Each structure stands twice: as C-alpha cells, then as structure tokens.
Amino acid sequence: MSVSTLASFEYLERLPGTTFRRLYQQPSTALAIFRRMLPHLAKTFVMALLYMSKPFPLTDLDLWVNPNSKRERDKALQLLSRLYIITVTPPSRDDPQTITLTQKFGESLRLALTGGGEHNSFGVPSNDSVAEGVDLAFLDEYAREQWEGILHYVVNSVGQSMGGGGQGPTDAVKHLLEAGQLVTTGRHSGKGITQAGFSFLLQEVNAQVWTLLLLWIENAEKMELDSVEVLSFLFMLGSLELGRAYSKDTLTDSQRQMLPYLVDFGLVYIPRSSSGHFFPTRLATTLTSDASALRSVSAGFDAASSAGGAKGFIIIETNYRLYAYTDSPLQIAVLSLFTRFKARFPNMVSGRVTRKSVGNAISHGITSDQIITYLSTHAHPQLVKNASIHGGPVLPPTVVDQIRLWQIENERMKATPGFLFKDFENGKEYEGCVKYADEIGVLIWKNDFKKMFFVTRVEQLRDYIKSKKLK
C-alpha cells in the first residue's frame, strides 16, 4: 500500500457508518475505493460476492484461500468490514456465519462497472467551446507551477527564481500549511520548515496531494462544506479524463465552493474566458489511480518543466562535497536546508555538507535519517550503478555516519517537563518519596546529596506524601 493510500485509508477508517452509506451512493466513490484502497485478495472477495443473490457462508470462503494464507484472509475481511463494504453475521449455534456486500456499495459498484444509471457520478463533459491552447502540455505546466509554488513556500523559498512570478500560494493555502504544521512561524526566526514538512517533501507528488487534501477536508466543516460531498467530488475527479472540459452545472453548491480551493492546489483549471466548465489536471485524474498510473504525474511534470533533476542528480563524496546536477529552484532550495553552497553553474550547484548546515536543519526539526533518505532517493545514477556493481551502499558510509553523529551532538541535552521536589524534613522522608516515585515510573532524575529529585507526574506522589503526613 502506497503512502498516499495509507493516509487516505487512515482518514476513511475514522468515518462512521452513516458517512460511508452516503459516500457509497455515488458509483465513482465505490469504484475509487475498490481500485485504490483494497489489496488483491479483498478485491477478489468483492468481485465474487458482487452478483450473488444470497448471503455466502463464511466457511465456504476458506475454500478460495490457500491454507497458508489465513492471516491474509483475515486482514482482507477486517479491512472490508472497517470500510463498511461487507456485512458478516455474528456467530450462532443455529445458523452458520454468512457474508454479503453492503447494499449501497454493491449497487454503486455494479453501476460503475456496467455504466448504468443516470447519476452523473463520473462528471458531465461540457458542450461549451474550449479556449485555444488548453491542451495536455498547458495543463501539466499549470499544475506544476501551482504545486511547486506550494512546495517553495514549505521550504521558504518563494520568489527565488520561481515560475509564475514568484507569487507563491494563496493565503488560504498558507494557513492550511501552518495548521497542518508543515511550516512554522516564529516571532523572530520567521517562517521555517518542520519535521513534518520535510517528510512531506520526501513523498511522491500523489502522496503530497493527498496529505494536503486530507488537511483541507478536516477543515471543511469550518468552511461550512459537507465533508461527504467534498470526498465524493475528489473521488469523482480521480475518474475524469485528462484534457477534457467538464460542466459545472451538475455540481452541488458545496462542490462549486470547492473549485477555487482546488484551483489553488493545481488540481483544477478554470479558463478566465468561460466560467461554465473546468479542466481536471494530472494531479486530479491520478488521485485514485494505481501505482503504474502514478508515474505519469512525475513524467508529466518533467515534460512541463525545462528544469532537470526530478530524480538522480546528487553526487556526494567522502569529503562531504556535494554536487547537484540540476537547475530546479525547488531542488536547490531543499538542498540548501542542509547544505552550504559554494558555487552555482547553469546546470549544477556545488557545496558541502557541514556540521553547521546539518545542525541548522536539525534545529528546524529535520532528522538525520530524513537527510540521508533524501540524498539516497535522489542519488545520481552513477552512484547507484557503482553501488550495484560493488555491492556496497549508495552513499559513502563515512558521510552517513557523520550526519547521524552530528544529530547526536545536538541531542546531548533533552528538555523534559515535570516537577522538582526538594527541602524535605529529613533523609527518611526523601528516601521514601524517591523510592515511591521510582516504583510508579515517574522518576527522571535525583540527587541524593542535595536531597532533591525530578518527576514527570505529581498526582500520585502528592497523595502519597499527604497520606504519610497523616499517619
């Protein structure tokens, strides 16, 4: 399961059954969850049950599964139950357990697979004349500029050789990034990336989109938007055809209110000359795609961008010198978070990974493992080739070890909130309190000479001291 699938599944798993029943009224939603959220075995169960007119005995299900795969069977059934796709009857002495698809999910998936019904769940193509120049290349370039504007803001590099004039994201997107703790704003230090923000940058584009969308969905109720309609619209976008214009007339009021936000994210393009239709971009049409289709996101962005360096552009030597063969402002901005640059050429930057540069990254919450992961993920093909030939690691071990050691140096002092106890009447009272604090697992530090100690919680210890004084 990909990162984006896990993130969206964790959100869906928290939803109540009533929400799922509303979601499954739309065939596009049922199809999207079937395609993207379910493993192969769970899909097999669903397809086998889809056209069964009667409940299926649960014991007969074992005949479909390898005897050595009972754990996988149980996981698949648990997943289907949590997503309210199946109903399993409780155990009974009189009747065997049976399994059926929930009514709404079964009906919608059958409509999606057969193309039946008049639900407009997969969008309605617009009959309006389409503006000239709105083709796949234009939509890819537009989506790339919008999304990279958001990423530039995360790394605090808006205006540094950005496409689109360096405007950056809208205020609504900025507030969302701050609410999601992907960036932080200090009184004196200004804006800065967080550990969660750097993890966000390490994700693939589709996972980044889902991360931001899930943050936005959680705030949808504050904007008086129906979260079910929001989810349904996102699943619908994942089923639309890239490059085709779709009518806004069939959308609900909540879905129309969503469009400006989706424009900010680069998921939707609305021509200025015509407000009656919209175009889904590649970011939108791959929301519910499988892993092979997701490669088209990066491919489309690479074609839209004249800047190279999507993957495999970093060389780092044992002397900590780093060479990045890229002219992408975004990639350079990310590297600057933990690299001290010394020279810049038309298609390459060079610098050095130092104690100070790594320490600066760690002070923003970025971990050594995240830095190492980024360097490994974007290592130059020559480094990868040498590692495969000689059977060694992609990055020099001395560099990896030193980056981790620099983080350890910054973690020598650790702040722990708690309570300090001192000024005891005698040594016996001190020893009794220390012993009790240690027994209940709240003792952090003690000094027997000064008769003082530090604990994380005080409630039980306070009651203990009171009870001793009453005796």
Q: In angstroms, how far is CA 38 from the centroid of its own chain?
A: 18
Residue 330: which of 116, 119, 112, 164 has the closest Cα? 164
Model-level pTM? 0.74
Q: What is the DSSP letter of 125?
A: B
The domain that holds 56 is classified in CATH as: 1.10.10
Per-residue pLDDT tens over the stretch 409-453? 877 666 788 999 999 988 899 999 999 998 888 899 999 888 999
Say yes or no to pLDDT of 293 above 50: no
Per-residue pLDDT tens over the stretch 250-280? 888 888 999 999 999 999 999 987 778 999 9
Residue 360: which of 135, 173, 156 has the closest Cα? 156
| Number of structural domains the chain divides into | 4
Residue 64: which of 52, 88, 48, 77 has the closest Cα? 48
Per-residue pLDDT tens over the stretch 341-356? 999 999 999 999 999 9
% residues pLDDT > 70 (the chain):
89
Q: Which residues contact 442 (CB under 8 A, 6 or more apart)?
A: 418, 455, 456, 457, 460, 461
Residue 244 lies in a domain: yes
Say yes or no to pLDDT of 292 above 50: no
Q: Are residues 298 and 171 in the same domain?
A: yes
Say yes or no to pLDDT of 335 above 80: yes
Q: Are residues 281 and 399 in the same domain?
A: no
pLDDT at 12: 82
Say yes or no to pLDDT of 226 above 80: yes
Q: Are residues 51 and 144 in the same domain?
A: no
Alpha helices (H) in 281-367, listed in sequence order: 282-285, 291-304, 329-335, 355-363
Residue 283 lies in a domain: yes
Residue 23 lies in a domain: yes
- Cα torsion 224, 230, 233, 238 to 10°: value is 150
Residue 96 lies in a domain: yes
Compute the mean pLDDT over every residue in the chain, rounded to the nearest whole number.
85
Q: Are residues 10 and 108 in the same domain?
A: yes
Which residue bears the tokens 């009518």?
247
What are the Cα distances from residue 371, in Å, to 65, 375, 423? 43, 6, 47
> Which 3 state secondary structure label does DSSP give 355?
helix
Q: Are residues 49 and 162 in the same domain?
A: no
Q: Are residues 225 and 145 in the same domain?
A: yes
Q: Are residues 203 and 78 in the same domain?
A: no
pLDDT at 290: 59
Residue 175: which of 283, 261, 268 has the closest Cα? 261
pLDDT at 165: 45
- Cα torsion 58, 64, 67, 68 to 10°: value is -110
Check: CB of residue 401 under 8 Å from CB of residue 350: no
Residue 121 lies in a domain: no
Q: Are residues 385 and 442 in the same domain?
A: no
Give the domain range for residue 178: 136-303
Give the C-alpha separation, 457 to 440, whole Å.
Answer: 10
Rg (alpha carbons) of the chain, rounded to whole number: 28
The domain that holds 459 is classified in CATH as: 3.30.70.2610
Q: What is the DSSP letter of 379?
A: B
Q: Are residues 319 and 256 in the same domain?
A: no
Residue 120 lies in a domain: no
**Among 303, 324, 351, which residue terminates a domain?**
303
Ramachandran assignment for 393, one of left (phi > 0), alpha (psi -120 to 50 degrees), beta (any other): beta
Ramachandran assignment for 30, one of left (phi > 0), alpha (psi -120 to 50 degrees), beta (any other): alpha
Mean pLDDT over 202-218 rounds to 88
- Residue type at 86? I
Say yes or no to pLDDT of 32 above 80: yes
Say yes or no to pLDDT of 305 above 60: no
Residue 308 lies in a domain: no
Highest mean pLDDT among 8-12, 187-191, 316-320: 316-320
Inter-axis angle of helices 397-410 and 355-363, to 10 degrees? 50
Check: CB of residue 193 under 8 Å from CB of residue 366: yes
Check: CB of residue 40 under 8 Å from CB of residue 79: no
* Cβ neighbours, 10 Å, residue 115: 8
Give the pair of three-digit tokens for residue 90. Answer: 């409780």
Length of the chain: 471
pLDDT at 332: 92
Written as one string, the DSSP assignment of 17-45 is: HHHHHHHTTSHHHHHHHHHHT--HHHHHH
Q: Are residues 405 and 423 in the same domain?
A: no
Q: Where are the beta strands (DSSP E) in 103-237?
A: 183-186, 190-193
Give the C-alpha separation, 261 to 254, whole Å.
Answer: 12
Mean pLDDT over 139-145 rounds to 92
Q: In angstroms, how far is CA 300 from the centroid of its own chain?
A: 21
Give the pair of three-digit tokens for residue 420. Answer: 């300090």
Q: Are residues 289 and 145 in the same domain?
A: yes
pLDDT at 164: 43
Give the C-alpha separation, 281 to 268, whole Å.
Answer: 6
Per-residue pLDDT tens over the stretch 44-102? 999 999 999 899 998 888 888 888 888 888 889 989 999 999 999 888 778 888 999 99
**Among 266, 282, 303, which residue terminates a domain?**
303
**Among 57, 83, 114, which residue terminates a domain?**
114
Mean pLDDT over 316-322 rounds to 96
Say yes or no to pLDDT of 234 above 90: yes
Q: What is the DSSP letter of 163?
A: G
- Contacts of 409-415 with CB under 8 Å at 24 or more apart are 409/355, 409/359, 410/359, 410/362, 410/363
Residue 124 lies in a domain: no
340 exposure class (CB count in 10 Å sphere: 0-12, 13-18, 19+): middle
Give the C-alpha separation, 220 to 242, whole Å.
Answer: 26
Q: Are residues 346 and 383 in the same domain?
A: yes
Residue 170: which of 268, 263, 236 has the closest Cα? 263
Give the C-alpha separation, 429 to 434, whole Å.
Answer: 9
Mean pLDDT over 387-392 rounds to 90
